[in-house]
Structure 1
């Protein structure tokens, strides 16, 4: 049996039995991780062991001690947004590889629970990546209590996007504080900042593409008098896309950036992006408050 067919048999058994798998994995906790291919852009699902840590899940790019990182690790570096299945539960998460001392601390915690990962590390010269799967749930009190309409869904996405911007701001402040204390560029948060920024930018692009392709034409069909307002939102989407590119470039240079210049630019970009989300909510949400989500079957002819 090839590795691909073996993985598929595990995936099928996992989904048929609400996360329970027998055979070699009898008694082990597994999750299914669905990533987006770094080159193909297609979804790829793999079964992985994991360790729970402070509300998040830790996975290790062990590749059974092979000299190269597993394909899924390269995928999450390119596309941090992933789908996680644990037991009967399924949710989105941001995959954030740990760096430096944090990685070492988390790896020690993993090995304390699953000693086999220590054997894999001793069998290879590469440092096994430890990836934190950060669930996308909004903070308590944020977002709709229940998603029942398209307006609720858009608001839920906006709340998550704002949260990612706050992540980036908080992490850059922590990075600059550590850099100032050591008087040198430091590893430890650069990749974490990058992953949250990339997750924000990719999610926002996907969200806007969905609005331009599906939501706006549907709204126009029922509210033709809103065409000018929706055209302005489309133009805003193009401006926001340019702003996203500038934000990604800014984050890429965080290691050598002047803190005050960086803070000023990040604050400006965050303000513009937040203003766009505010404007969308004011313009769109009242119109979509009666549209069910997920959409039901089309009416019978």
Structure 2
């Protein structure tokens, strides 16, 4: 159940373009919406944040309590989160920092907001430091203008390919650094840990949503108008099942916080990359000509006297019991 304190902060934040009074007067505050690790329900939590370059940094302080806040466990399970700052709302990838990077970021946070150092002193657990990156991969631009359902499909495919390239680039950087390392100790290399885990999970979850939507809505809708393409849709659905199986194997390797076998992970990633790119190529070859004349966004339905009434949508979103993270 939402706390009255949290709910009042959320309402004041949204009513005043991100400005909140009382103990938060003058503070940088954001609203973080995560998906429940077990419940799957959305939860919104007000959190203080510190800027670091183009990213926002939040700390799982939980006011120095002995356990991590619920929102932190949620983002480990579902890395794509929603962030509200002022009047802006955007999707972000939540990546907990590790090792030296975590220490450097925490020092930066404490210089800006010394209270987090006091929270760390209250507990023996290491406070998580989480970087909120915009969810778009590097270089993402998307189509200049989307006029048709074909354009929309290409936008999604471009997004998925960009995420996959980014995961592969980070994995390759890890192995390149290890190969170039000489001497004792571990190389100063991108770890095959939380950063790659979070980005890969975000990619897998986006891919699953896309394919589920296609199977449930897009393919049946097109098939009604193009019954001669039944073999094409059967093949695409079969490929979805193949990709889903490989995706499941990849996610299983990410079930822990670290990756126990990096070489196996890279091998599984390569297998899924090959299958997925071949599938996307075939889908574009088969479907883009059929979708080019379908306008996007679709025209709104025409209301009639029979369907113009009805109650408004309810908001069943749950809010976290954690106040300041």
Both proteins in one fold, TM over 0.5: yes
- Where does structure 2 lack aligned partners over 5 or more consecutive residues? 305-325
Q: Report the structure, 1 or 2, having the larger helix content.
A: 1
More moved, 35-44 vs 51-60:
51-60
Q: 2:82: which partner in 1?
A: 83
More moved, 183-192 vs 117-126:
183-192
The alignment of Structure 1 onto Structure 2 pairs a total of residues equal to 299
Cα 1:12–1:226 shift into 2, 3 Å? farther
Q: 2:132: which partner in 1?
A: 133
Does structure 1 conserve the Cα–Cα contact (< 8 Å) formed by 2:192 and 2:259? Answer: no
Q: Deviations over 1:110-169 (max 9, x none)?
A: 111111111111111110101111112354464212445443333233222222222222
Any idea what SS the aligned residue of 2:3 has?
helix
Q: In 1, distance between residues paired with 2:216 and 2:105?
A: 42
Q: In 2, distance between residues paired with 1:172 and 1:268?
A: 14
Bigger Cα Rg: 2
- Give structure 1 regions of 4+ aligned residues with deviation exceeding 6 angstroms: none
Q: 2:236: which partner in 1?
A: 233
TM-score of the two chains, using structure 1 as the length reference: 0.88
Q: In 2, distance between residues paired with 1:258 and 1:128?
A: 26
After TM superposition, list the pairs within 5 Å mapping 1:15-94 onto structure 2. 15-94=14-93
Does structure 2 conserve the Cα–Cα contact (< 8 Å) formed by 1:18 and 1:87? Answer: yes
Does structure 2 conserve the Cα–Cα contact (< 8 Å) formed by 1:136 and 1:160? Answer: no
Q: In 2, distance between residues paired with 1:198 and 1:296?
A: 34
Does structure 1 conserve the Cα–Cα contact (< 8 Å) formed by 2:173 and 2:190? Answer: no
Q: In 2, distance between residues paired with 1:28 and 1:50?
A: 9
Per-residue deviation, 1:265: 4.4
Q: In 1, distance between residues paired with 2:192 and 2:76?
A: 14
Any idea what SS the aligned residue of 1:59 has?
strand
Per-residue deviation, 1:207: 1.0
Any idea what SS the aligned residue of 2:126 has?
coil
Q: What's the Cα RMSD here?
A: 2.7
TM-score of the two chains, using structure 2 as the length reference: 0.82
- Where does structure 1 lack aligned partners over 5 or more consecutive residues? none
Cα 1:132–1:197 shift into 2, 3 Å? same
Q: Deviations over 1:146-205 (max 9, x none)?
A: 445443333233222222222222222333345453565999441111111111111111
Cα 1:252–1:293 shift into 2, 3 Å? same
Q: In 1, distance between residues paired with 2:45 and 2:290?
A: 40
Q: Per chain length, whose mean CA-contact separation is higher, i.e. which structure has more relative contact order (CA < 8 Å, sep 6+)?
A: 2
Q: 1:194: which partner in 2?
A: 197
